[in-house]
Amino acid sequence: MRKIYLLLVTLFIAFQTVIAQDVKVFATTDTTEYTVGDYINYTIEMKYPKGVNLVFPTITDSISNLTFIKNGEIVKTEVGNEISEIRHFIFSKYDSSEVTIPSFHISYSANGGNPQFVQVNSVDIVVKTIEVNQQAEIQDIKAPIRIPIDWLLVSIIAILVLALIVAAYFGYKYYQKKKLGKVVVEPEIILTPFEKAIANLTKLEEKKLWQQGEIKEYHSELTGIIRDYFENKYNFIAMEMTTSEIISNLKLKEVNFEVIKTTEEFLENADMVKFAKFKPMPTINETMMKQAYLIVNKTNQTSNEVVNVG
């Protein structure tokens, strides 16, 4: 009886070893060179016998050095006793660098046995910026079209403008005669960076751009307000900087860590919309506005005023 038991154990171990050898994975990308903002198509192909329970990890936990865009399709086929499964994922990268997409483990078990692991290979890619000739002159694609001057139309416009000026002059003189007291000269209102940013954010909300389908314009104006705020607040050219350069400058200014993390997420989401043609859900558009208010409020150290957004 004991011999039979040992034989069964030996067969079970051998079966598990065969299964382990038959589970194969291979990761690839559609190319090895990309431009900043390109879609990186990442594919994992897995082959394993029937009866194997494969547990695929969360891809964003396994790959953190790229920006996750979305899951692609999953294609699963069976040939004889073997299952072939292909999973597609789309990532992007908004800074130029050499990148190694890391290896990670996939867990599986067979016939209720102990969990085992198979390792996914790493993949090396290069992300490049768009090359620009700094010495070249800016030129029109076509020469400007010259339109003949219509002197009759110019004369009519000039007469109308002159009439408006004369009417405005006499209207002003009449108003001055009826007005009592001195002319009140309103002082120029100089807004602080905080006040200017809050005013611009309020105007942008009232435009309701993303609700009307103008999503790219919404994100462009929203990030422009925050970049302008950083320029006025911390005195660096945020309008001309990449996301990573802005984050580096904020760290030099000893900005709160929570604000830096919020700013990085805020700018990366906007980059995806502007450069990767990503179409965010309505909740993302609302969250972006809340993040903008949070950034301005948290960095406002010269005033106790805080503006809340619903």
The DSSP line for 137-198 is PP--SSPPPPPPP-HHHHHHHHHHHHHHHHHHHHHHHHHHHH--SPPP-PPPP---HHHHHH
Farthest CA pair distance, the chain: 122
DSSP 133: -
CATH for 22-128 is: 2.60.40.740
DSSP 245: H
Domain map of the chain by residue range?
Answer: 22-128, 193-299
CA-wise closest residue to 255 among 269, 270, 238: 238
The pLDDT assigned to 182 comes to 53
Q: In what order do the strands lie in the sheet with 33-35?
A: 33-35, 123-128, 97-101
User: Residue 135 CA to chain centroid, in angstroms?
Assistant: 31
The pLDDT assigned to 219 comes to 84
The pLDDT assigned to 138 comes to 64
CA distance 47 to 78: 10
Pick out the chain residues at pLDDT < 50: 5-20, 141, 302-303
Tell me the per-residue pLDDT of 39-96, one tens digit each, with 9 for 90 and over.
Answer: 999 999 999 998 888 888 999 999 999 999 999 899 999 988 899 999 999 999 998 8
83 bridge partner residues: 48, 78
The tally of CA atoms less than 13 A away on the side-chain side of residue 281 is 5
CA distance 173 to 167: 10
The pLDDT assigned to 185 comes to 59
CA-wise closest residue to 124 among 97, 90, 151: 97
CA distance 207 to 213: 12
The pLDDT assigned to 286 comes to 87
Instruction: Assess contact for 249 and 242: CB atoms under 8 A.
Output: no
User: Residue 65 CA to chain centroid, in angstroms?
Assistant: 14
DSSP 276: S
CA distance 303 to 285: 28
Q: What share of the chain is helix, strand, coil (3-state, %, to 5)?
A: 45, 25, 30
